[in-house]
Copies of this chain bind each other. A is one copy, B any other.
Amino acid sequence: MSELSRTTSTPVATIKYYQREGLLPPGLRTSPNQAQYSDEHVRRIHLIRALLGPGRLDVATARAVIGAIDSDAPLPRVFATAQRAASVRIDDHDVDAGALDRVDDLLADFAITAENPGRAAAAAVIRAFEAVGQRDADDWYRRYAEAALLVAEADLDMLEQRPSRDEKAETVVVGSVLGDALFAALRRAAQEHVSTIRYEPGRADAIRRTRSSR
């Protein structure tokens, strides 16, 4: 275990915690004080850290998505589990029929079922957005939906590259969970970029000159 700890830069206490929580399978015991760990254990530790760290999942949710990878569930089921796991928990009283109708209008061209977790989540966000007095945002919603379509196409294209069922399953989980975090991060960067270009064009040129000369 101390070798596993070194290889993954993860403290032994953390590895034991992952095992206690059922996130990491035990090693193959070779003596009372020794167990053998495989490359699978190394990969799994990185996966757990990605889900609990940048992915911001809690332990129970991480356990559910890892369980979906390890099961022989068909890929659409793994996808659904990862989607639900990585979705904002929606409190039913944050959704109302009016907001659901707005989302259905917005996504009228999408072939989705009423149970899609994104549908209720989008309705909850739109309801909250309008409850705080934000208005005239239809164009904003529409442009978000268009960008989401581009991102979903990129998600599915990446998935198609993966050769085996197991690799697809892992990409589905990691891509669902980390994709949100990646997009949010890139949105922060893009906001500064667009804002600097629009309001401080001279500074934008200077920043880009400095960066390209590094």
- Give A190 to B132 CA distance when docked, in angstroms: 26
- Copies of this chain, tallied across the complex: 2
Residue A30, interface by CB 8 Å: no
Tell whether, in the assembled complex, residue B50 and residue A190 are in contact, meaning their CB atoms are under 8 Å apart: no
Chain B residues contacting A56 (CB-CB under 8 Å) are 88
- Give A129 to B53 CA distance when docked, in angstroms: 11
Tell whether, in the assembled complex, residue A196 and residue B144 are in contact, meaning their CB atoms are under 8 Å apart: no
Tell whether, in the assembled complex, residue B128 and residue A87 are in contact, meaning their CB atoms are under 8 Å apart: no
- Give A113 to B188 CA distance when docked, in angstroms: 11
Tell whether, in the assembled complex, residue B118 and residue A186 are in contact, meaning their CB atoms are under 8 Å apart: yes
22 residue pairs bridging A and B, Cβ less than 8 Å apart? A49-B131, A54-B94, A54-B128, A55-B128, A111-B196, A111-B205, A111-B208, A112-B189, A116-B188, A118-B186, A118-B187, A118-B188, A118-B189, A119-B185, A128-B178, A139-B158, A144-B151, A144-B183, A147-B154, A148-B183, A151-B190, A156-B191
